[in-house]
A and B are shown apart, each in its own frame.
Chain A
């Protein structure tokens, strides 16, 4: 069964460093997402991406965040200058399109620890 894959599964970084989280969405999916889950809290929407541009972003997704689809398969989340409060699990997700394509499938997450 096709799945969303994410790398790395866990990354530790120093405050102020740049981090890139990588995702390979399911191959026939057209909509891509990043969500975040701070430890013990609910899952929060960060950004959605369609047709090579951001279609919606939340208040959390400020100027330190950016997303990119550098080729036909990868979808990346970059955090320019990490802060302690960026420590969280970051989930990539994707969905197909059309009336039957409204289920969002998640990857296994990338756990980011900022020290």
Chain B
């Protein structure tokens, strides 16, 4: 069965601190996708990144970076120099890789609530 664990329920940091959100996943599939979504207080789900299991290169996008380690089944997310606008709930999610109509469903973790204080 597929499962995503985000052990950190809530994290609070002061602006400009770096923060890492942990994500550990379980799957029997050899190929899969991993995602991070951001849910700001307004409630919508904002796509941040998709990473497939073939590619273990770390990725950086501005202040955001992601560390994918297949050996430990982890896909951690780091925000550098955090800002108040980063305050949100962040969800890690997993899906299989197939292209038929029944595939691509996301399994979400419980989310980590990040509060960035000025």
Contacts and interface: CB of A to CB of B under 8 A. Distances in A.
A43 B45 contact: yes
Contacts of B108: 42-44
A65 to B, nearest CB: 16
B91 A48 contact: no
B44 interface: yes
A103 B101 contact: no
B64 interface: no
B44 A108 contact: yes
A102 B50 contact: yes
- Interface majority SS (helix, strand, loop, mixed), chain B: loop
Contacts of B107: 45
Contacts, number: 69
Interface residues on A, range: 20 to 34
A99 B99 contact: yes
A91 interface: yes
Contacts of A18: none
Interface in A73-107: 89, 91, 95, 97-99, 101-107
Interface of A: 30-31, 33, 35, 41-45, 48-51, 55-56, 89, 91, 95, 97-99, 101-109, 111
Interface of B: 33, 35, 37, 42-47, 50, 91, 93, 95, 97, 99-102, 104-111
